[in-house]
A and B are shown apart, each in its own frame.
Chain A
């Protein structure tokens, strides 16, 4: 077949007048303006004390961060505190995934177990994990066990929900395809159910991790001698708002790092996931 040469249309070059109004349509300029504006307003508000005594200047927060990074607070530097929180999150997260995913999966594939367990789970689900704190302290005292218990409660729910829904929402025609190729029940489970529901399960694990990070703070706010929650409660008790905001900055950065690294991990584990968005 002879292909006809498509006439290349000459690119239309519009001279961009560099006016102020155009600058305000440039997203990167606006981003920069936003950050600078935010910090400036914050600084002005802090210096003029227009919002009261308890707003530190941004630089004070920075100094406080450096200070906490270099000098121990309650015997530990900032990184050690961070590590304590992260360790709790990781231990609880592993336990939650180990419990939650099998329960959710089993609920998805076995209708009897689903009928039996779903209402119990539905009763348990709406109670915020933080509501368990008092009971946990009563049972285990203010120690690692009670904190990890609460985080597990918080992190296990998204694992169960997503594993369950992931399995229920597998495209029915994929089962048809596997059956037409001769799959038996067990093979359907291994070759279709598990791989097809994996992205949903993984999403649940992701939510569960950020849930764990929220819950660890709550647990540490109520009673702890170390950890990021301890730092901000310490800032409250000693009337140092710079310490609170410094702690919040580190907490936010950690949360962000966690979510970024998990989404990289996901792209690496299931490179085919793009399909879910592109295919009909």
Chain B
């Protein structure tokens, strides 16, 4: 164990090594992820870009510990991930808020599970509700909120647990285009206010270029494997119509082969 730890480069927050995943039994096996390595630096905003059915959600569920890989390991700060836990904040595509809890109740769920006293967790929750811009909606139930607001709650809920890492799985996939752009700006604002290591899955190239420090693309067919890596050093806040922005967007579009 000790020797393995030393092999890990110090500056990597997340390391996936030799990761692969297949479902089903021997007769009827589906390979979802081909063997891959992926490393994420501390406080980096990594975007994983790939079309539907490219194994990106599976990769994410493995990183979060919700799924065990067929081979390989995921380590966070050099420690192997063995199951889901509060050191990772996860934002689901389908919101997955607790419908019986108010906004406040949802956001303070993490602190509550950790056993924080009532006034402490209320304070934490309020801080993140304010951060995501939902002040005044503390006592609303999820069904009373719009899609964008639900996803804000989901982000606040993940942040309130003070995770080392945030994993966002196509969080804005169900939003309309305008709300989506707004939420992308908000994501960057929140991230810059409280930096975390962020991995963000999307199928939208523009969103990837707008958000990421680095973009990793997956091939569009199973089993999923990494194809290209792009470093994005455009200054923030980024402009969707900036020439560099458009060039990079074009480059990624050209290089990703969509297999239909």
Q: What is A's interface to B at a CB cutoff of 8 Å?
A: 171, 173-174, 176-183, 187, 191-192, 195-196, 198, 270-272, 274-276, 278-280
Contacts and interface: CB of A to CB of B under 8 A. Distances in A.
A279 B143 contact: yes
Given A177-B90, A182-B161, A195 B66 contact: no
Contact of A278 (B101, B143, B157): B143
Contact of B96 (A177, A183, A275): A177
Given A177-B97, A181-B157, 13 more contacts: A174-B96, A176-B84, A177-B92, A178-B98, A179-B66, A180-B88, A180-B89, A180-B90, A182-B85, A182-B86, A191-B113, A192-B98, A272-B141
A176 B110 contact: no
15 contacts: A176-B84, A177-B92, A177-B97, A180-B90, A182-B113, A182-B114, A191-B109, A195-B98, A195-B100, A196-B98, A272-B141, A272-B143, A275-B143, A278-B143, A279-B142
Interface in B80-137: 83-86, 88-90, 92, 94, 96-101, 109-110, 112-114
Contact of B92 (A173, A183, A271, A275): A173
B201 interface: no
Contacts of B157: 181
A198 B100 contact: yes
B100 A272 contact: yes
Given A180-B64, A181-B157, A181-B161, A275 B99 contact: yes
A174 B64 contact: no
Contacts of B101: 195, 272
B258 to A, nearest CB: 27
Contacts of B158: 180
Contacts of A183: 113
B143 A176 contact: no
Nearest to B84: A179
Contacts of A177: 90, 92, 96-98
The size bracket of the interface on B is 20 to 34
Contacts of A271: 141
B142 A176 contact: no
Contacts of B96: 171, 173-174, 176-177
A273 to B, nearest CB: 8
A16 B84 CA distance: 64
B156 to A, nearest CB: 12
Contacts of B85: 179-180, 182
A265 to B, nearest CB: 16
Nearest to B85: A182
A177 B169 CA distance: 12
Contacts of A275: 99, 141-143
Contacts of A196: 98-100
Question: Which of A173, A178, A179, A280 is most buried by chain B, counting CB atoms within 10 A of its CB?
Answer: A179
Contacts of A174: 96, 98
A196 B142 CA distance: 14
Contacts of B84: 176, 179-180
Nearest to A199: B100
A42 to B, nearest CB: 45
Contacts of A182: 85-86, 110, 113-114, 161
A171 B132 CA distance: 26
B113 A272 contact: no
6 shortest interchain CB distances as A-B pairs: A182-B86, A275-B143, A179-B84, A275-B99, A180-B90, A181-B110
A255 to B, nearest CB: 29
Contacts of B97: 177
A121 to B, nearest CB: 28
Interface string B139-158: 00111000000000000011
B99 A181 contact: no
A184 to B, nearest CB: 8
Contacts of B66: 176, 179-180
B125 to A, nearest CB: 12
Contacts of B141: 271-272, 275
B197 to A, nearest CB: 16
